[in-house]
Amino acid sequence: GSFEVKYQEPFEDKGKIGWRNAQGIEPEKFNWCVFTFPANEVDIHGAFLCSKDIPVEEIKNPILRKSNGHQGTRMVTAFYGDYLDKPDNVNHSVDAFEIPNKSDVKELSNGLFGEESRVYLDDIKEQANIQLKSIYKEIEQAQENAERKVMSLAKQLGISHHIAVSVKKSVKLTDDDDSIVKSLHIEEAKYVASKSNEARKVIEQLNHMDPTSPTYQSDLEEKSSELSALVDAQNKEELSKYVVRRELVANLLDRVLNQKLAVQTEPLPDGKKRRDKEGFIHDLIFKRKSDGNLNDLWILDEEFVHFDGCSDVPLNEIQSESGEFLLKDIPEEEIAKLQLKITKRPDIFIYASEGKCVLIEFKAPDVTLTDYMHQTPNYCTLIANYSVHKIEKFYCYLIGESYSKIDVPAEYEETVNGSWLREKIRIIHPETRERIAWAQQEIIKLSDIAARAHRRNKSFAAKLGIDDLMDGNNE
């Protein structure tokens, strides 16, 4: 291919040097050609200004600098022309051009105006780079695809935007997903190590703080600000998304209770007689027939989201993360004799810790909770008697919206949150009638759960400065 570069002449422009096309002089013509090599035969893609068939000066280009081979080949581009071959424009050893750049012209002089106008080296390079953009278009597109892959993988992994940008600058066309992920984690580790060192210095200063000092609160606030400054803006943005998502869940719960979701009021399909009212609540908080990888149990207790759990799975099919079943094998005759209901499905079962578990039952808003007070204790009795590993403490929750205080047994005490709690329910062996475990059960209204979630979310939102946005979510 070929291109032209016009002659330029300087002129005075408001006390500075300006540039304009020289009149009456034909532009200089330059040519280019591309040599393609197997990738293992040359070190890098490259482009060079040549004089008398010798590469004199490499042209720096972002595409060429980052690319390390594309589809098994590398390309070398040569730019050449009569202007570059002129003896006055290249030194005797043919390893540097004598053509000035526009930036070399610092002031106007009589001598300069007496000389012919020039084609300047920076104009030649500028036009050469325009050609390179077309020549290496396929490589540029491949590079852009690789960079997009970096950003996409970083987003999937929850890695900060600024770390992804850093890795994007050095990604190679030959990098696969595994190598990109490795680079992202390495860069993140470097960043975290640096921030951790800074944080450690701040925390070490706590040794010099005095809680009895009049300035204690202001000193603590100062240290808090120093540590907070180490949390980058991207992570603060992610935290905001986290809080906003939680508020949306609480807001959805309000709408379910108030029958405001379109799916709750639209006509039922043919053949369907009633709505799955409990299902709206259940799937909102913990999708049925799923494991614990994604749930919104934080709305009940923050700790629950970190435990191993399952939803709507038969008792005899519940397994731990290691694949071990909850219940041991029970002889058929014993199942028949004691009428054991081993296929019953707790709404939610959680392995809390060794010897402890959590059972949660949801009821539709129009169902009377006190009619089901024995459901979770019955599950506890079966589990305590036939679990593979001994479970001695059960935490049970009966959650709905409708009940009357007059129906709540005397053993239940009202909590500070307005729920009802019975702390000690005896779980017994069916034959000896001896206690083998303890259970506690709490009766909670869904509306109270939603109200508490809104309070927590609003507190976080105020700290993040997004409380106005949260108020908009509640409309």
pLDDT per position as a tens digit, 254-313: 888 988 888 888 887 777 767 788 888 888 888 888 766 668 898 998 888 888 889 999
pLDDT greater than 80 at residue 461: no
d(CA 47, CA 54) in angstroms, rounded, equals 12
If pLDDT is split at 50, 70 and 90, which confidence band does 382 have? very high
Q: What value does the mean pLDDT of the chain take?
A: 85
Paired residues of 420 in beta bridges:
414, 443
43 vs 33, 64, 104, 147, 402, CA distance in Å?
A: 19, 11, 33, 22, 75
**Backbone dihedral region for residue 420 (phi beyond 0: left; psi -120 to 50: alpha; all else: beta):** beta
Instruction: With beta carbons less than 8 A apart as the criterion, state whether 361 and 400 touch.
Output: no
CA–CA separation, 399 and 417 (whole Å): 14
- CB atoms inside a 10 Å sphere around CB 303: 12
Q: Where are the domains of the chain?
A: 2-135, 162-229, 233-258+455-473, 270-452
- Higher pLDDT, residue 109 or 145: 145
Pairing of strands 8-13, 16-21: antiparallel
The residue assigned the tokens 């578990």 is 357
pLDDT band at 114 (very low <50, low <70, confident <90, very high): very low
pLDDT value at position 474? 54
Q: How far apart are CA 427 and CA 472, in angstroms?
A: 47
pLDDT digits (tens, 9 = 90+) for 151-160: 988 888 778 7
Tell which residue, 371, 449, 383, has the closest CA to residue 415: 449
List pLDDT tens digits, range 401-441: 999 999 999 999 999 989 999 999 999 999 999 999 999 99
pLDDT of residue 451: 92
Q: What is the dihedral of CA 333, 339, 341, 343, to 10 degrees?
A: 40
